[in-house]
Structure 1
Amino acid sequence: MTTTDNNTRSGADPTAGRGDGPLGRLGRWVAAHGRIVTVAWLLVIVVLGAFAPMVEKNLSGAGWQANGSESVRVRELAVEHFGGDASSAIQVVVHSDTPLTDETGRHVIREIVHRLHADSRIGEVIPPQPGATLSADGRTAIVIGGAGASTDDMVRAATDLTPDLQALSTDRITVAPTGASVLWSDFNAANLEAMLTSEMISWPVTLLILVIAFGAVVAAGLPLLLTLAGLVSAAGVLVLVNFVVPVSIWAMNFAMMFALALGIDYALFLVVRFRAAMSSGSGSTADAIARTMDTAGKAVLLSGVTVLVSLSAVMLVPSPSFRSMAAGVMISVVFVLAATLTLLPVVLVGLGRRVDKLALPWARLDRHRSPAFERWAERLWRHPLRWGGAALALLTLLAVPMLSLTTAMPSIKVLPEDASARQGYDLVQEAFGPGAPGMLAVIAPDSDARAVSMVLSADPGVHAVMPAMPSTDHSGLTLVQAMPAVDPSSSELAAIVDRLRDELPESALVGGAAVENLDLADQLDSSLPLVIGVILVLGFLVLLVALQAPVIALLGTLVSLLSTAAAFGVATLVFQDGIGAALFGFESQGFLDAWAPVFFFAMIFAIAMDYTVFLLASAKEQWEATGSVRDAMIESLARSGRVIFAAGAVMVAVFFTFSLSGPLPPKEMGVVLGSAVLLDAFVVRLVLLPVILRLTGRAAWWSPRGLRRVLPTITFAHD
Structure 2
Amino acid sequence: MTTIASRRNPPPAPEQHAPGWLARLGAWSGTHLRVVLIGWLLVLVAFGAFAPQVESALSGAGWQDSGSQSVKARELIANQFSGLNSTALQVVVHDSAGAIASDPVARQAVDRASALLQADPRVSTVLPPQPGVSISQDGRTAIIQGGAKADPNEMVRAADELSKPITALSRKNVSVNLTGSSALWANFNQVNHSAMIKSEVLSWPVTMLVLVLAFGSLVAAGLPLMLTLVGLLTAAGALVLSTHIAPVSIWAMNFAMMFALALGIDYALFIVVRFRAALKRRADQTDRRQAAIEAVAETMGTAGKAVAFSGLTVLVSLSTVLLVPSPAFRSMALGIMLSVVAVLAATLTLLPAVLGRLGRRVDSGRIRLPGALDRAERRAERRAAAAAASATGAGVEGAGHAAHPHHTVVGLERLLHHWGALLHRRPWIAGGLVLVVIGILAWPVLSLRTGMPSIAIIPQSQTARAGYNQVVDAFGPGAPGTLSVVTPATEQTAALQLLRSDRGIAAAVPAGSSNGWTMTLAIPTTDASAPATGSTIDRLRSQLPSGTLVGGAAAENHDLEQVLSSRTPLVFGLLIGLGFLLLLVALGSPLIAFVGVVTNLASIAGAFGVAKLVFQDGHLSGLLGFEPQGFVDAWAPLFFGAMLSGVAMDYTLFLLSAAREHYDLTGDPQHAMRMALRTSGRVVVAAAGVMVAVFMTFALSGPLAPKEMGIILAVAVFLDALLIRMILLPVVLRLTGHGAWHQPKWLGRILPRVRFSH
Q: Same fold (TM over 0.5)?
A: yes
Superposed CA offset, 1:468-494 (max 9, x none) = 4112xxx11000001111111222111
Q: Does 1:520 align with 2:563?
A: no
Q: How far does residue 108 in structure 1 lie from its aligned partner after superposition?
A: 1.9
Asked if 1:51 is matched to 2:50, the reply is: yes
Cα distance in structure 2, aligned partners of 1:351 and 1:580: 48
* Alignment partners' CA distance in 1, 2:431 and 2:67: 47
- 2:394 is matched with none
Distance 2:710 2:572 in 1: 21
Distance 1:586 1:104 in 2: 36
Q: CA deviation at 1:451?
A: 1.1
- Residue pair 1:91, 1:145 contacting (<8 A) in 2 also: yes
Indicate which of 471, 484, 487 corresponds to 2:527.
487
Partner of 2:743: 703
Alignment of 1:48-447 (within 5 A): 48-97=47-96, 98-101=98-101, 102-280=103-281, 281=283, 284-362=291-369, 364=377, 367-369=406-408, 370-447=413-490
Letter in 2 for 1:136: Q
Aligned-pair distance for 1:611?
A: 0.5
> Alpha-carbon deviations, 1:54-92, whole Å to 9, x = none?
212211111111121111111111101000010010101
Q: CA RMSD in A?
A: 1.4
Between the aligned partners of 1:482 and 1:86, the Cα distance in structure 2 is 13
Quick check: 566-575 or 46-55, which moved more?
A: 46-55
User: How far apart are the structure 1 equivalents of 2:313 and 2:510?
Assistant: 55
Contact kept in structure 2, 1:257 and 1:655, CA below 8 Å: no
> CA offset at residue 172 of structure 1?
2.0
Q: Which residue of 1 aligns with 2:3?
A: none
1:306 Cα deviation (Å)? 0.7
Deviation at 1:657, TM superposition (A): 1.1
2:496 to 447, 453, 458: 453
Report Cα offsets for 1:420-462 as digits up to 9, x if no partner.
1101100111111111111011000111111111111111221
Counterpart residue identity of residue 597, structure 1: P
Q: How far apart, in 2, do the equivalents of 1:247 and 1:637 lie?
A: 41
Letter in 1 for 2:423: L
Q: Please, what TM-score do these two structures have when normalized by structure 2?
A: 0.91
Note the C-alpha offset of 1:652.
Answer: 0.7
Cα drift, residue 287 of structure 1: 0.3
Q: CA deviation at 1:636?
A: 0.8
Q: Secondary structure at the match of 1:284?
A: helix
**1:18 Cα offset (Å):** 8.8
Preserved CA contact (<8 Å) 1:66 1:520: yes
2:615 equivalent to 1:608: no
Counterpart among 575, 592, 615 of residue 552 in structure 1: 592
Range that drifts further, 390-399 or 400-409: 390-399
1:190-229 deviation line (CA, Å, top 9, x unaligned) = 0110110111011110110111112111111211222122
Verify the 8 A CA contact 1:278 1:353 in the aligned structure 2.
yes
Task: Output the CA distance in 2 between the equivalents of 1:508 and 1:20.
Answer: 66
CA distance in structure 1 between the aligned counterparts of 2:502 and 2:736, rounded to whole angstroms: 62
CA contact (8 A) 2:453 2:633 kept: yes
For the 8 Å contact 1:63–1:321, the answer to whether it is kept is yes
> How far apart are the structure 2 equivalents of 1:109 and 1:631?
78
> What letter corresponds to residue 464 of structure 2 in structure 1?
A
Is 2:711 aligned against 1:671?
yes
Q: What is the match of residue 8 of structure 1?
A: none
Helix, strand or coil at the partner of 1:532: helix
Q: In 1, distance between residues paired with 2:339 and 2:586?
A: 23
Residue identity in the other structure for 1:676: A
Instruction: Supply the distance in 2 between the matched residues of 1:387 and 1:595 (Cα, whole angstroms).
Output: 34
Work out whether 1:464 is the aligned partner of 2:507.
Answer: yes
Gaps of 5+ in 1: 1-16
State the secondary structure of the residue aligned to 1:467: strand
* SS state at 2:125 partner: strand
Partner letter of residue 310 of structure 2?
A: S
- C-alpha distance in 2, partners of 1:184/1:470? 29
Is the 8 Å Cα contact of residues 625 and 702 (structure 2) preserved in structure 1? no
Partner residue, 1:19:
18
Q: Aligned AA for 1:531? A: V
Q: CA offsets per residue over residues 15-41 of structure 1, 9 Å max, x none?
A: xx9932111100011112110111121
How many residues of Structure 1 are paired with residues of Structure 2 in the alignment? 699
- Structure 1 range deviating more: 142-151 or 356-365: 356-365
Structure 2 CA distance for aligned equivalents of residues 18 and 709 of structure 1: 19
Distance in structure 2 (CA, Å) of the matches to 1:660 and 1:349:
41
Report if the CA contact (8 A) 1:275-1:368 is conserved.
no
Amino acid at match of 1:443: V
CA shift, 1:346, in A, is 1.6
Offset of residue 662 of structure 1: 3.1
Aligned residue for 2:65, secondary structure, equals coil
User: 1:216, 1:360 within 8 Å by CA — same for their partners in 2?
Assistant: yes
2:31 and 2:356 in contact (8 A); partners too: no
Contact 1:531 1:598 in 2 (8 A): yes
Three-state SS of the structure 2 residue aligned to 1:687 is helix
d(CA) in 2 for partners of 1:390 and 1:411? 38
Deviation of the 1:583 alpha carbon: 2.2
* Letter of the 1:106 counterpart: R
Aligned residue for 2:397? none
CA distance in 2, matches of 1:18, 1:49: 41
Further displaced range: 133-142 or 511-520: 133-142
Amino acid at match of 1:93: V
Maintained 8 Å contact 2:662/2:672: yes
Range 282-291 or range 242-251, more displaced: 282-291
Q: Quickly say closer, same or farther: Cα 1:691–1:23, change in 2 above 3 A.
A: same
Distance 1:215 1:87, change over 3 A: same
- Dislocated runs of 4+, deviation >3 Å: 363-369
Query: CA deviation digits over 1:291-334, x for unaligned, max 9?
Result: 11011111111111011111111111111111111111111111
1:580 aligns to 2:620 (yes or no)? yes
What is the alpha-carbon distance in structure 1 between the residues aligned to residue 368 and residue 500 of structure 2?
A: 79
TM-score normalised by L of structure 1:
0.95
Give the Cα–Cα distance (whole angstroms) in 2 for the partners of residues 191 and 44 of structure 1. Answer: 31
3-state SS, counterpart of residue 521 of structure 1: helix
Instruction: Report if aligned partners of 2:292, 2:356 keep a CA contact under 8 Å in 1.
Output: yes
